[in-house]
């Protein structure tokens, strides 16, 4: 397989504050050494790494440091990392909208990039005029652009507005047309940033399908940046993980995604009541997901821990919880009755733990809905809605192993309860 992108020892430094060196002589001297003589910048200073959470002491930061990787023809490479990790800077350098401070990139083929809303479009020109303008920039003839025109407009869904200046487009329309132009005008390399998140769900699916088509069916290369691990897992086989301007993991996408979640800071959204009540109440609900940061890998173990406080003994208590999605659809309902497994019969705090040995939920965002009451039909002590949000991810290669129940997007194995008095 032919290498179409080769990045060697690439670094990018930014100076904070004023861009110039303070005098015309210094600016000319820099230009002479770097542009004419091909030497290192004489004013280059060792900067700090790009850590947004730490107050720096230098006026220089390294957005990228010592980046090395190759991309083969027809490969779809994912690039992931936290905000500020250097993903967009890397794509801008590969798109030649900015240059590296040190290092080199070698690219074989025409590049089309979609980095942010408005990239490559003139706001005063119509959609039609911008299509022809972008095609000309890519070196295509009018006849070649004309042959793709109807397909581009249909894919973007902007037939009615194609002769309207794009400055009047919504951000979603803008992105749909920009992506359609970039994907259909036959570039050898397509670079796409998180900008696709602006589009609706239907368009995102179309865009991912199109990127698969141009890579697998037409042998074109795609670089794809996203915070959506579902999209990354669907589209890519290999990925890079960036952190503070460095590549910290390069390999198969499932391994890179796992490393991404392992290195993310824990932002646990555990529910907890710290004030207490005079009646039985739910003190705490906590998820133990298979990956850090409240992320669950489909098919692995997940546990729900619930602490219940009873200021006085009660008989016949009932606790249940549901897993619901962002559309309020319930996928499972787990409950436990005091008549089956005694709890809350003495004053104190009880921990109810429900374990799913292999919880299979389709990719997406989910929540818990909890219900604590007397026996069915009795008084309700507490009801909690949409707590403990978590995300389910799945690797593309594993999808065919799961048989999904119709219309539920869930396949649940038995759950097991454990009860103990902790106070």
The domain that contains 212 carries what CATH number? 3.40.50.300
The pairing of strands 410-412 and 330-337 is: unpaired
Of 23-32, 111-120, 128-137, 170-179, where does the model show the most confidence?
128-137
Least confident of 98-107, 178-187, 381-390, 409-418: 409-418
SS3 88: helix
pLDDT value, residue 410? 45
Q: Are residues 231 and 335 in the same domain?
A: no
Nearest to 13 by CA among 74, 59, 61: 61
Q: Are residues 172 and 277 in the same domain?
A: no
- pLDDT surpassing 80 at residue 107: yes
Residue 11 lies in a domain: no
Q: Are residues 201 and 231 in the same domain?
A: yes
Residue 117 lies in a domain: yes
Least confident of 18-27, 108-117, 197-206, 271-280: 18-27
Instruction: Assess contact for 294 and 287: CB atoms under 8 A.
Output: yes
Residue 162 lies in a domain: yes
Residue 57 lies in a domain: no
C-alpha distance from residue 43 to each of 17, 33, 402, 417 (Å)? 16, 10, 58, 65
Distance CA 173, CA 164 (A): 12
Q: Are residues 239 and 304 in the same domain?
A: no
pLDDT value, residue 58? 56
Query: Angle at CA 361, nearest 5°, toward 323 and 222?
Result: 130
Q: Which residues sit opposite 412 in a β-bridge?
A: 359
Q: Are residues 198 and 315 in the same domain?
A: no
Distance CA 58, CA 384 (A): 48
Distance CA 12, CA 104 (A): 11
Which residue, of 244, 263, 282, is where some domain finishes? 263
Residues 6+ apart with CB under 8 A from 348: 309, 310, 421, 422, 423
Q: Are residues 403 and 382 in the same domain?
A: yes
Mean pLDDT of 43-61: 58
pLDDT confidence bin for 144, thresholds 50/70/90: confident
Least confident of 178-182, 260-264, 381-385: 260-264
Instruction: Assess contact for 144 and 110: CB atoms under 8 A.
Output: no
Which residue, of 220, 245, 263, is where some domain finishes? 263
Q: Are residues 392 and 250 in the same domain?
A: no
Residue 417 lies in a domain: yes
Specify the higher pLDDT residue, 319 or 59: 319
pLDDT value, residue 399? 53
Q: Are residues 213 and 297 in the same domain?
A: no
Residue 86 lies in a domain: yes
Least confident of 197-206, 357-366, 413-422: 197-206
Nearest to 177 by CA among 135, 236, 225, 237: 135
pLDDT confidence bin for 333, thresholds 50/70/90: confident
Residues 6+ apart with CB under 8 A from 229: 80, 257, 260, 295, 391, 393
pLDDT value, residue 303? 92
- pLDDT surpassing 90 at residue 248: yes
Distance CA 367, CA 384 (A): 11
pLDDT confidence bin for 407, thresholds 50/70/90: very low
Q: Are residues 210 and 298 in the same domain?
A: no
Q: Are residues 80 and 186 in the same domain?
A: yes
In degrees rounded to 5, what are phi and psi of residue 203? -70, -40
Distance CA 101, CA 10 (A): 8
- pLDDT surpassing 90 at residue 137: no
Instruction: Assess contact for 366 and 389: CB atoms under 8 A.
Output: yes
CATH number at residue 411: 2.70.50.60
pLDDT value, residue 300? 87
Distance CA 127, CA 133 (A): 10
Residue 8 lies in a domain: no
Q: Where are the beta strands (DSSP E) in 202-347?
A: 221-225, 238-243, 246-252, 271-272, 281-288, 295-297, 302-310, 318-325, 330-337
- pLDDT surpassing 80 at residue 116: no
Q: What is the mean pLDDT of the chain?
A: 81
What are the helix and strand counts (H, E) for the chain? 8, 22
pLDDT value, residue 153? 92
Q: Can you give the residue range of the structural domain that contains 181? A: 72-263
Which pair of tokens denotes residue 123?
Answer: 């706001």
Distance CA 337, CA 354 (A): 13
pTM: 0.62
- pLDDT surpassing 70 at residue 327: no
Mean pLDDT of 306-326: 88
**Per-residue pLDDT tens digits for 207-217:** 888 888 888 88
Q: Are residues 115 and 229 in the same domain?
A: yes
Specify the higher pLDDT residue, 222 or 45: 222
- pLDDT surpassing 50 at residue 262: yes
Mean pLDDT of 142-149: 90
Placement of tokens 């009615």 in the chain: 160
pLDDT confidence bin for 110, thresholds 50/70/90: confident
Residue 38 lies in a domain: no
pLDDT confidence bin for 46, thresholds 50/70/90: low
Distance CA 114, CA 39 (A): 32
Of 231-235, 316-320, 330-334, where does the model show the most confidence?
316-320
Which residue, of 217, 245, 263, is where some domain finishes? 263
Distance CA 396, CA 401 (A): 10
pLDDT value, residue 285? 93
Q: State percent of the chain over pLDDT 70.
A: 80
CB atoms within 10 A of CB 20: 10
Number of domains in the chain: 2
**DSSP per residue, 225-245:** E-S-HHHHHHH-SEEEEEETT
Q: Are residues 225 and 247 in the same domain?
A: yes
Distance CA 155, CA 177 (A): 8
Mean pLDDT of 155-180: 87
């Amino acid at each position: 397989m032919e290498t179409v992108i080769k990045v060697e020892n690439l670094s990018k430094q930014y100076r904070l504050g004023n861009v110039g060196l303070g005098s015309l002589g210094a600016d000319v001297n820099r230009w002479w050494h770097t542009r004419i003589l091909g030497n290192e910048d004489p004013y280059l200073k060792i900067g700090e790494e790009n850590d947004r959470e730490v107050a720096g002491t230098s006026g220089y930061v390294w957005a990228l440091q010592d980046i090395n990787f190759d991309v083969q023809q027809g490969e779809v490479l994912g690039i992931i990392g936290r905000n500020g990790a250097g993903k967009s800077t890397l794509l801008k350098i590969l798109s030649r909208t900015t240059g590296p401070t040190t290092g080199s990139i070698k690219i074989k083929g025409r590049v089309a990039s979609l980095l942010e809303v408005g990239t490559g479009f003139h706001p005063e020109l119509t959609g039609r005029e911008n299509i022809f303008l972008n095609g000309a920039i890519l070196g295509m003839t009018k006849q070649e652009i004309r042959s793709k025109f109807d397909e581009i407009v249909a894919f973007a869904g902007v037939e009615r507005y194609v002769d309207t200046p794009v400055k009047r487009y919504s951000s979603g329309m803008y992105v749909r047309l920009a992506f359609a132009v970039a994907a259909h005008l036959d570039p050898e390399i397509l670079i796409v940033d998180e900008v696709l998140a602006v589009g609706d769900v239907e368009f995102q699916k179309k865009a991912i399908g199109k990127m698969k088509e141009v890579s697998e069916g037409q042998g074109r290369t795609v670089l794809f940046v996203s915070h959506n691990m579902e999209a990354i897992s669907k589209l890519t086989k290999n990925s890079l993980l960036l952190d503070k301007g460095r590549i910290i993991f390069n390999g198969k996408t499932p391994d890179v995604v796992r490393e991404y979640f392992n290195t993310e800071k824990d932002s646990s959204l555990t529910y907890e009541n710290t004030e207490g009540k005079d009646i039985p109440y739910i003190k705490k609900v906590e998820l133990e997901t298979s990956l850090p940061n409240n992320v669950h890998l489909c098919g692995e173990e997940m546990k729900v821990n619930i602490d219940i406080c009873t200021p006085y003994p009660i008989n016949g208590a009932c606790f249940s919880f549901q897993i619901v999605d962002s559309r309020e659809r319930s996928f499972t309902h787990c409950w436990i009755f005091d008549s089956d497994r005694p709890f809350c019969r003495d004053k104190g705090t009880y921990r109810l733990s429900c374990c799913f040995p292999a919880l299979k939920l389709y990719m997406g965002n989910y929540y818990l809905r909890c219900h604590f009451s007397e026996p069915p039909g009795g008084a309700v002590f507490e009801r909690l809605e949409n707590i403990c949000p978590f995300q389910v991810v799945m690797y593309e290669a594993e999808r065919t192993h799961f048989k999904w129940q119709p219309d539920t997007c869930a396949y649940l194995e038995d759950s097991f309860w454990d009860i103990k008095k902790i106070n």
